[in-house]
Amino acid sequence: MNYIRPSWANSWTRTRNEESGDAFIHAWVCRCVRAQVRRRATSETRTVGRWAAHAVAVAKIVRVNEKKRPVPSPAAPEKERAPQPVLIGAGIAVVQAIAVIIFGIVLIIRDVTGAKNESMVSDAAASGWVGTGTAIFLFIVFGFVIFGAVAMVKGKRWGRGAIVLVQFILAASSFQMMSGGAIALGVLVLLSAAVALWLLMLVPASTQWAASHY
């Protein structure tokens, strides 16, 4: 009857044939210890190999999930806030625009009520509605000024050009007002236009903010 001999028996027989006495016992024990160490090392190596295979599989799954994960879109860069001189200049422009719009409303009321304008002499049939036409023109121009001022407050620089242009027009119109007898009004318009131009064109913070766009 065939049977498989245990490893210690094979070691015992092989050692008995090679050694004798105490040397035989010592050599046999050493062979058994070395065999046990080799078996443990082999078992641990296999365990480490299995864990390494599991780690590689997990890493592959993680990489696949990362590829499938949607990439978040980059946040939009924040717009640079307008410096304080620009904000003050925009505020002056808004006040001027509101005053002109109120003046336009007064012109429309005068046309509707039939008030006569002594400064204008005309036989045309539409002469009674000149004030209304002027008011509509003022609404368009200074409405755009308000829109540009709000854009500047939000950090957009394109409104600066429109406001600067209107300030030059107001400064020129102020001399006509003073020559027509409205000296106080002309001086007020001239001063407000000069301050707005200084804030938007000559203050270093404003010029640097405007130049950073280009």
Residue-wise pLDDT tens digits, 156-181: 878 888 899 999 999 999 998 898 88
Output Rg (C-alpha) for the chain, integer angstroms.
47
Which residues have a Cβ under 8 Å from the Cβ of 157 and sit 6 or more positions away?
A: 209, 210, 213
The letter for the amino acid at 201 is M
> Would you list the domain boundaries of the chain?
7-68, 84-117+125-211
pTM of the prediction? Answer: 0.58
Tell me the torsion sign for CA atoms 18, 20, 22, 24. Answer: positive
pLDDT in the model for residue 152:
85
What does the block give as tokens for 4? 């498989």
Per the CB < 8 A criterion, the answer to whether 81 and 155 are in contact is: yes
pLDDT in the model for residue 81:
76
Opening angle at CA 115, ends 111 and 119, nearest 5: 95
Residue-wise pLDDT tens digits, 12-59: 455 455 555 555 555 655 666 566 656 665 665 666 566 666 666 666
